[in-house]
Amino acid sequence: MFYLVWALLHLAVFAAASQISFTESAPDYNFTTLDLSSLSEEEFTVLEHPQFPSYSVRIRQTASGFCDPSVKSYTGYIDTSASRHLFFYFFESRHDPEHDDVIFWTNGGPGGSSAIGLFMELGPCRVVDGNTTKVNPYSWNEKANIFFIDQPIGVGFSYADLGETVSTTEDGAKDITAFVAIFFETFRKFKGRGFHLAGESYGGRYIPVYASAIYDYNTVLKEAGIEPINLKSVMIGNGFSDFTTMHPSTYDIMCTPASVEPFLDISTCVYIKTAMPRCMKWFKESCIDIFDLISCNAAVHFCNTMSFFPIIAAKRNPYDVSKECSGPLLEESLCYPITKDITQYLNRPETRKLIGIPPKFDNATFSNINYTVHAAFGASQDENRIQTKFYLENLLDRGVRVLIYVGTYDGACNWVGNHRMVNSLEWRDSHTFVQKELMPWHVSNSHEKTPPAGSVKTAGGLTFLTIEEAGHMVPYDKPVEALELVTRWLNEESFY
C-alpha cells in the first residue's frame, strides 16, 4: 500500500545507491538454540548469530488473548550495534506449526507499517474498532507461520536511538537478511522449512531485493557450515516493480474499460495519450540510460501529472477506482477509515504493553506511514536507480518461484502494468510464459458455472494472477480468494 503517496510527495535530494555486502566476520562458537514455547511473556530473550556479530534479535511471547487465542504469537525487535531497532510480530500456523512453511510479510509505502497487513488484510485478526479485534478466519496463517515486520527503520514501532535512517532498499536488505539468519539458526525446528517473502505495493521493490540478498548470503552461510535458508518463493500483491510498464498503463485504467468504465473526460485522455511518449522518453534518458537524480525527479513528476494525479482529480480511490475516496488520501485514512481504527488500537497503553513496546513510545503517536522515511526513499529515487525487475529475472533463473497477483480495481499498481511487466522479464522460460494466454481460475469446490475468481497464466516458476473486483489490498477486498491463492501457491498446486 501507499506507493501513490510517494508519487505525490517525492523530493529532490541525492542519496547514492549502495551494494548489498556484509563484511562482518566472527570465529565459530557453539550456538544456542531455543524452543519458542520457552520464551517469557514478561521479558525479551536476546538471540545472536556468529555471522552477524553486529546484530541481535529480542523476542518474547505475547499473552494468549492477543489477536487470535488459538495460536501462539510473539513480538520483538531486530537490533543492530548502530542502535537501529526493527519491530516484528510472529504468529504460528493454525494448521501445523511444526511442519508448515514460513512467510515473511511487509507492507509498502515506502514507510508503511505492516500493521496494515496484520490488522486489516491477512493477519490472524482484524480491528473491529479502535479498542478491539476479532479473529480473521481467512488469515494466511491458516497454513503457514508468518511474520509481519515494520521496516525500514522509523516505520511503525521501529526506531533508531541516534537518528539513523535508511533511504534505499539495498541498505534495508542487510537488516532483513541478518534477522532471517538469526531466527532460523536459533529456532532450529524451522530450519529447512520453505521460506516465502511476500508484500504488496512498494513491496514490489522490497521483496525482489530482499529475496536476492538472502539467496546470495546463503553462499556465505554454507561456507561457515550453517544450513542455508530454504528460499522457495516470492509473492507480490499489486506491486510496483517497473516504472516503464506501470505508468503508461494508468491510461488503460482511467480511459479504457480495462478495469472499470472510463472515468476521465475524453479531452484529458487524449492529452495523456499524446504526452505519455514524451514522459517515457524523458524517463528513459534521465533514469535508465544515465541516472541523473535531478532530471530523473523532474521526469517522474511530469509522468505523475498524467498518470496518478488525474485519478485523484477525479475523486476516485486510487487503490480501488470503482469507488470514491473515503476521507483525505494524504491523511491517516488513506481512503480506508479502518486504518484510523488500527492507529487508535495501537495507541492504547494496554495494546502496547501486551506486545512489548518500549517506554520510548509512551509519548509518541503510532502512525500507519512515516512520511520522513517516505520522503527519504523518494529523495533517492530508490525505485528508479536500479530496475527491480532485473532481480526478479535472476531469482527465476535460480529456481526461486515468483507469484505476481493483482486486484483488477487497483489504480495505483494496476493489473495491466503488472501484466506487461511480467511479459517483459527475460529469463530461461520467458518465451514460453509470453506465449501463454490468460485463463480463468476458480476457488476450490466452486461450481463450474460460478464466475471465475480471476485470470491466470504460468510457466516455469512464474505465475501471474488477477483477482476480479479486488483493489490494492486483495486480502481485504477478497479474503476467500486471497487465502485460496496463497494456499495453492504454498502447496504448489495448479491454478488451472
Neighbours of 261 (CB within 10 A): 7
Q: Which of 410, 419, 430, 477 is catalytic?
A: 410
Of the candidates 10, 85, 374, 472, the residue annotated as catalytic is: 472
Tell me if residue 79 is catalytic: no
- Residue entry with cell 483477482: 467
Per-residue confidence (pLDDT) for residue 353, from 0 to 100: 92
What's the pLDDT score for residue 118? 97
| pLDDT at site 394 | 98
Query: What is the DSSP track for 114-176?
Result: THHIIIIIISSEEESSSS-EEE-TT-GGGSSEEEEEE-STTSTT-EETT-----SHHHHHHHH
Query: Positive or negative CA dihedral for 384, 234, 342, 362?
Result: negative
Backbone φ/ψ region at 399: left (φ over 0), alpha (ψ -120 to 50), beta: left
Q: Assign 334 a pLDDT band (cuts: 50, 70, 90).
A: confident
CA distance 299 to 278: 9
Q: Which of 73, 93, 201, 249 is catalytic?
A: 201
Say how many Å lie between the first and final Cα of the chain, rounded: 28
Asked whether the predicted pLDDT for residue 38 surpasses 90, the reply is no
Mean pLDDT confidence for 287-312 = 92
What is the predicted pLDDT for the residue at 411? 94
Report pLDDT for 25. Answer: 38
User: When comparing pLDDT for 280 and 162, which is higher?
Assistant: 280
Q: Is the pLDDT of residue 203 over 60?
A: yes
**pLDDT tens digit string along 438-458?**
999 999 866 566 889 999 999
Q: Could you confirm whether 410 is annotated as catalytic?
A: yes
Q: Which helix (H) or strand (E) covers residue 4, if one does?
A: helix 3-9
pLDDT confidence of residue 444 = 80
Convert the pLDDT of each residue in 191-200 to its tens digit. 999 999 999 9
Tens of pLDDT, residue by residue over 454-489, are 999 999 999 999 999 999 999 999 999 999 999 999
Read off the pTM. Answer: 0.91
Q: Is the pLDDT of residue 229 over 90?
A: yes
How far apart are the C-alpha atoms of 168 and 19, rounded to whole Å?
10
Q: What is the 8-class DSSP label of residue 256? A: S
In this prediction, residue 332 carries a pLDDT of 59
SS3 359: helix
Classify domain 3-244+385-491 by CATH number.
3.40.50.1820
User: Does the annotation mark 161 as catalytic?
Assistant: no
